[in-house]
Amino acid sequence: MDVNVTHKHQSTVWLLVVVAIVGLNLRPFMTGIGPLAESLRDATGLSQQGLSMLTLIPMALMGVVAFAGPALQGKLGARLLVLLALLVIAIGAILRWVTSSGGVLLLTAAIMGFGVAIIQAVFPGIIKRQFMQRSSVVMGLYSAMMMGGGALGAQLSPWVAQATGSWQIGLAWLVVPALLALLLAMKLLPMDPPRSAGRRISIKPLLRRRRTWLLMLCFGLVNGGYSSAVAWLAPAYQSLGWSAAYSGSLLAVMAIAQAVAALVLPAIACRKPDFRPWLWFTLGLQLVGFAGLAFWPAAAPLLWAIVVGAGLGGCFSLTMVVALEHLKDPAQAGALAALMQGGGFLLAAVAPWIVATLYDATESYMAGWMWHVGCVTVVSVLVWQFAPKGYAQAMGV
């Protein structure tokens, strides 16, 4: 009996390692762009709008692919999809090593975004299935490592680029953690349950539910703040005279705050079924952070980065948990989370372009940050509808 318990404990620990390393790979390919924006602009000729596409394209793909996630999972199974996606991410990273073209760089953003999109579409369902009662805590770990990977990308990319004298290598180092994640997942990720790969999950009933669209809207408006911060926080401070390394460090600080909040807040919030007070707390942090970036960027840059990062990370993680809590069946809950990400990331993808357009019109990032203050205000009102006692009625179960 003790041997069985020990083996089960070890299996759980190793599965948590897989969750962590997979999550770590999902954001560095985007967060490494901002600190190197000036080098990329000079080397490739990409304009401000073109640079925004390096975030817009993968975010849009995260949205589009999420809609197909349940169908793909029904045909191929979640495990195989995760393995293929990690391989795609590694291939995209290798291509960044050998390119000097803006067009090819945009192509790598699409390739890596496609791989990340597949993982994001199916991985929450895996977590729900493998951990069930502790899924909220493990989703916190997954989200935290995702944000931690963002910090790693923001910090390592300019450092590697400076050390090697090559922005290509500064973007291509992600091949190492991607291949490591692939090897660990091949060894440790459990096989799909019997008939899982052949089970068809219909998304039509979910799309007929108003709650699904509400989740999409809230997720999209909040994550638009993340995509804009990833794209423009470092360039905004470079316009104030900061170096690539220092502005990258600021983005890394924001991502670390995201990771801590994404890990800690779900563990605290899950003690009660109603997540709304914590959602409002994270939205309040975002309001303060974006307002600070808009009106007093030079007054307390570290504070604004920490506050907005904690708000974004905590809200992302809690919203994922709220989506999963709406349905008890892991496959259906995973499908709902995938749809939420689908519509949400399509909305979020547009945010960096909006900020770039506002910058071109005003020659200031203030209007862009204020746009996100408005988005957060809207979500703060909509979140009122996420009372747990209404989950079943909202989903028609």
- Torsion-angle region of 165 (φ positive above 0: left; ψ -120 to 50: alpha; else: beta): left
pLDDT in tens, 341-352: 889 989 998 999
2-395 CATH: 1.20.1250.20
Q: How far is CA 322 from the centre of its chain?
A: 16
Contact of 354 with 73, CB cutoff 8 Å: no
As a whole-number percent, the residues of the chain with pLDDT over 70 amount to 95
DSSP state of 196: T
Mean pLDDT of the residues in the chain: 89
Contact of 30 with 150, CB cutoff 8 Å: yes
Report the distance separating Cα 341 and Cα 83, nearest Å: 20
Res 194: pLDDT: 63
Instruction: Give the residue extent of every domain in the chain.
Output: 2-395
Report the distance separating Cα 20 and Cα 122, nearest Å: 15
Contact of 30 with 58, CB cutoff 8 Å: yes
| Token representation of residue 345 | 């990331």
Top-confidence residue, 8 or 80: 80
Give the phi and the psi of residue 264 in degrees, each rounded to 5: -80, -45
* DSSP-derived secondary structure for 296-356: -TTT-HHHHHHHHHHHHHHHHHHHHHHHHHT-SSHHHHHHHHHHHHHHHHHHHHHHHHHHH
Q: Which of 123-132, 170-179, 342-351 tops mean pLDDT?
A: 170-179
- Look at the block and give the residue holding tokens 């008890």: 328
Res 50: pLDDT: 87
The pLDDT of 330-353, averaged and rounded, is 88
pTM of the predicted structure, to 2 decimals:
0.81
Q: How far is CA 11 from the centre of its chain?
A: 26
Res 6: pLDDT: 57
Question: CA nearest 353: which of 55, 39, 41, 46?
Answer: 55
Report the distance separating Cα 22 and Cα 16, nearest Å: 10
The pLDDT of 351-380, averaged and rounded, is 95
- Kindly tell me if the per-residue pLDDT of 195 is higher than 70: no
- Kindly tell me if the per-residue pLDDT of 7 is higher than 60: no
At residue 199, the 3 state secondary structure works out as coil
pLDDT in tens, 236-257: 999 999 988 888 889 889 989 9
- Kindly tell me if the per-residue pLDDT of 5 is higher than 70: no
Question: CA nearest 143: which of 120, 125, 122?
Answer: 120
Res 9: pLDDT: 62
- Kindly tell me if the per-residue pLDDT of 85 is higher than 80: yes
Least confident interval from 17-21, 132-136, 387-391? 132-136
Res 1: pLDDT: 46
What 91-95 contacts at long range (C-beta under 8 Å, 24+ apart), as own/partner pairs, is 92/29, 93/29, 93/171, 93/172, 93/173, 93/174, 93/175, 93/178, 94/172, 94/175
- Kindly tell me if the per-residue pLDDT of 109 is higher than 70: yes
The pLDDT of 112-125, averaged and rounded, is 91
The pLDDT of 152-180, averaged and rounded, is 93
Question: CA nearest 252: which of 158, 342, 176, 151?
Answer: 151
